[in-house]
Amino acid sequence: MSTMSALGTGTTPNLTGPPMLPPSDDALIARVRGGEREAFGLLVERYKRSIYNLGYRLLGSSQDADDAAQETFLRAYTRLATYTPDGRFGAWLSAICSHWCIDTMRSRRRRVQTVDLGRVPESDRFISQMTGPEESALMSDSRDEVQGWLAALPQQYRTVLTLRYFQELSYNEIAEVLGEPVSTIRMRLFRGRNLLGQVVARDEQGTQPTALLLQTA
């Protein structure tokens, strides 16, 4: 009996075989390079939320995040020939978005609020251990609250925390995105978490940010 006949008589056809998996990023990229431009739209749908969130964490507004996402995907499309298929398309997009956001902050000469907390210990011995208010901050469900805490940090710390805990990039990937040694990324994460923890603690105590200093990003 044909499939159409089975459907017409109400009989369920015997369908076998594993379910079809969605195409990988690199497979979609190959299709785009082969002339199927519509395949790039599937990549946009796959990553638009994470790239928007990255732009929002770094720039602090919905409008800026929209601009960052649009510019990221435009640049990615026009530079697709430079991407090496290696299963890390998401990290490649994050790098494009991060650089655009950093350039935007620099060009606007934004002044961001940062906490004058003195010297942070140089050791990163406990870098993989995160307890206390900074952990609560990074796990918070309140986007606006988290954004307020991140905005109180210098740009270099806000960037590495965002890439690590919201984009879930590895230390090596962050180092590649920012063009910095892995040791520098580890230190910035350690310092950034310490700063963030103190920002959150002050906020929970209801302390006004009277000790905040203005620093050019």
Q: Which fold has domain 110-217?
A: Arc Repressor Mutant, subunit A (1.10.10)
Residue 179 is predicted with a pLDDT of: 86
Residue by residue, pLDDT tens for the chain (217 residues) are 444 444 444 455 555 556 678 889 999 999 999 999 899 999 999 999 999 989 988 888 889 999 999 999 999 999 999 999 888 899 899 999 998 998 888 776 544 444 443 433 333 332 333 444 445 455 444 456 677 778 888 888 888 888 888 877 888 888 888 888 999 999 999 888 888 888 877 766 665 443 333 333 3
Classify burial at 124, counting beta carbons within 10 Å of its beta carbon; exposed 0-12, middle 13-18, buried 19 or more.
Answer: middle
Instruction: Please list, in sequence order, all residues whose beta carbon lies within 8 angstroms of the beta carbon of residue 95, skipping any fewer than 6 positions away.
Output: 176, 177
The amino acid sitting at 1 is M
- Tell which residue, 52, 80, 84, 79, has the closest CA to residue 67: 52
Tell me the backbone φ, ψ of residue 181, rounded to 5 degrees: -65, 150
Cα–Cα separations (whole angstroms), residue 70 to 18, 67, 75, 192:
36, 5, 9, 28
CA dist., res. 53 & res. 193, Å (int): 19
From its phi and psi, is residue 52 left (phi > 0), alpha (psi between -120 and 50) or beta? alpha
Residue 216's DSSP bridge partners are: 111
Domain residue ranges in the chain: 22-108, 110-217
Helix (H, G, I), strand (E, B) or coil at 173: helix
Architecture label for domain 22-108: Orthogonal Bundle (1.10)
Using alpha carbons only, what angle is made at residue 153 by residues 152 and 157, rounded to the nearest 5 degrees? 160
The pair of three-digit structure tokens given for residue 110, joined into one six-digit string: 């934004």
Classify burial at 196, counting beta carbons within 10 Å of its beta carbon; exposed 0-12, middle 13-18, buried 19 or more.
Answer: buried
pLDDT single digits (tens) 162-210: 888 887 788 888 888 888 899 999 999 988 888 888 887 776 666 544 3
